[in-house]
Structure 1
Amino acid sequence: MPDRYAGFDEPYWADYRDALRRGPPDGRAVLPAPEDLNACLPTGTVSGGGQPIRFVDADRLPNTDYERHIFETGEVSTRRNSWHDVFNALVWSRFPAVKAALNARHRAEIIAGMSPGDAGRRGPVRDALTLLDESGALVVTHRADVSGIMARHDWRTLFVDHRDRWRNDIAVFVVGHAVLEKFLDPYKAITAHAICLRIEPAPGRFARAELRQRVDRELAARIRSGLCLNSTAELQPLPLMGIPGWWPRPEQDGGFYADTQVFRPATGKRNPLIIELE
């Protein structure tokens, strides 16, 4: 673990690099404790219920309903020495509005599911919320055709023919903490479940932090209002190591993208969801 603290140069770490390079306090060869992670949160970070977020040792919160407890108290159950939970905390620090919106929708669905006959049933909304939370990515672009290309699984067009678009026309934000954990030991088939967001002007016209904050704020409003994440069908698979420059070895050639075990063809017609940002 400690040898990772000096790196994180790969492009997929862009939004988390500074926090990861700081590593654990006092140079300890362990991951930061839950209480240490609280320092990474922006001022005013709150749960879906408006309670100040703080990361609490999971041993202190046995048998709690995870999402409902966060909503009502702001306490996020966090295991010690768990990369998975560290990355969850870091996503809270970078996308606090989206995380709070996911939490609010989870809680609303939990309450709705308490009616007779529905108890214990997760349903399509919670499945979609969880998929974005664990494995999600946000594809931000000003181009109207990107979502359709993704829906057709036209990977050669997306990654090869339009390779230059990834400099200024398309930005990707990884918000799934399980995906971030996979980047510690990357492999070719890492795949996210993506929402496509259209924005004007081109993403390259924004500073990265400015674009991230805008996306966080505006996507959160749509999640809370129920305009998206009502079904997992709204999320599109995105093989992340196909993004130009993301695979850590120099094999992103024709043979690389011909691997249909990773860059799989579409199995049916999809109606892609694209969220228009203001």
Structure 2
Amino acid sequence: MTAPATGAHAGNGRRRFVAPLRGHVDAACFRHPLFDGYGEYRDLLTAPHWPDIEALNARMPLSGTRFARQDAGLLADGLHYEARTAQGCIATRADNWHDLFNAMVWLRHPALKHALNQQQCRHIARMGSRERSPAQQALTQFDESGVIVQVRDAALLDLWDRHDWAALFRANAARWHDGGITVAAVVGHALMEQVLVPGRLLVGKCLVVLGDPADVLKQVIESMSAGAILTAPSELRPLPLAGIPGWHAGQDAAFYGQEDYFRPLRDGRVYPRPL
């Protein structure tokens, strides 16, 4: 999608995020753990020049799907972005971080992106293009700021349910390294864009898989395609990503005490069961 970036800590402002110029980005930011799993595409981010559409298409693993330069000629077809994508044409702005990260997620997780597009098109067919259902809002939030988290220890999920951030992140720091809780995949391209600016406190919109299934992503894709998940934004669990051990500098007690970022649980807020 090409919507404005979302998912930053409210303390950083709600104005539209403006990414820095390519030449002003420190390539060290791409070593952030958020980019784990995207190592084979790092050259697209660190090369002196923007990759062209042909270079992106050469790496597209999904048959019948291609990136196309978004210009007046492409938009003249009058199609909705999602409808055009469903026809195998992903509109992509040139020299644009947001769309480059979107392309990178397509390259890494094509089946997931295809499932998101299918669901968006299903709801557009039902609602029309002028109104957006709660499901469309949830799908968009996940597409922009989504993180898939695997939790093997149900006690950690209980801490997350209660927003006991100090216990989840600090007291159980070892569990983030021994498999008790794991970031299985970052799929939100808006989150990636915001890492271009060092020090931003990001919040992921998470789907949670409990237990140890053979293929976490496959389970998410199948549930999404069946319409069993992402039916409303309230299904997405917020996760202050800077709290994950090793994801931010200075993770001391005072850091985890910042209630404007590590927010207490709202009265009446109940999260749905994980997958």
Q: Are 2:139 and 2:230, in contact at CA under 8 Å, matched by a contact in 1?
A: yes
Distance, in Å, in 2 between the alignment partners of 1:66 and 1:110 is 11
Distance, in Å, in 1 between the alignment partners of 2:121 and 2:88 is 13
Gaps of 5+ in 1: 47-51, 202-210
Q: In structure 1, what is the equivalent of residue 109 of structure 2? A: 95
Q: In the TM superposition, what whole-angstrom CA distance separates every residue of 1:23-82 from its partner, at most 9, and x where no partner exists?
A: 47xx5x33212222123322xx25xxxxx22110001421430011111x2100000001
Give TM-score scaled by structure 1 length.
Answer: 0.83
CA separation of 1:125 and 1:18: change in aligned 2, threshold 3 A: same
Q: Tell whether 2:196 aligns with 1:184.
A: yes
The structure whose RCO (Cα within 8 Å, separation 6+) is larger is 2
Q: In structure 1, what is the equivalent of residue 118 of structure 2? A: 104
Q: Tell whether 2:205 aligns with 1:193.
A: yes
Q: Are 2:29 and 2:195, in contact at CA under 8 Å, matched by a contact in 1?
A: no
What secondary structure does 1:56 align onto? strand
Alignment of 1:76-155 (within 5 A): 76-114=90-128, 120-155=130-165
Distance, in Å, in 2 between the alignment partners of 1:183 and 1:176 is 12
Q: In structure 2, what is the equivalent of residue 216 of structure 1? A: 217
What secondary structure does 1:32 align onto? coil
Amino acid at match of 1:270: R
Gaps of 5+ in 2: 1-21
Percent identity of paired positions between Structure 1 and Structure 2:
35
CA separation of 1:57 and 1:262: change in aligned 2, threshold 3 A: same
Q: Are 1:193 and 1:236, in contact at CA under 8 Å, matched by a contact in 2?
A: yes
How far apart are 1:199 and its partner, in Å? Answer: 3.1
Q: Tell whether 2:74 aligns with 1:61.
A: yes
Q: Are 1:7 and 1:21, in contact at CA under 8 Å, matched by a contact in 2?
A: no
Q: Are 1:192 and 1:240, in contact at CA under 8 Å, matched by a contact in 2?
A: yes
Q: Are 1:239 and 1:263, in contact at CA under 8 Å, matched by a contact in 2?
A: yes
How far apart are 1:227 and its partner, in Å? Answer: 0.8
What secondary structure does 1:196 align onto? strand
Distance, in Å, in 1 between the alignment partners of 2:39 and 2:265 is 34
May I ask how many residue pairs the two structures share in their alignment? 248
Distance, in Å, in 2 between the alignment partners of 1:22 and 1:178 is 17
CA separation of 1:177 and 1:197: change in aligned 2, threshold 3 A: same
Q: In structure 2, what is the equivalent of residue 18 of structure 1? A: 40
Q: In structure 1, what is the equivalent of residue 54 of structure 2? A: 35
Q: Are 1:148 and 1:272, in contact at CA under 8 Å, matched by a contact in 2?
A: no
How far apart are 1:198 and its partner, in Å? Answer: 1.5
Amino acid at match of 1:253: D
Query: Over aligned residue pairs, what C-alpha RMSD do you find?
Result: 2.0
How far apart are 1:10 and its partner, in Å? Answer: 2.2
CA separation of 1:91 and 1:235: change in aligned 2, threshold 3 A: same
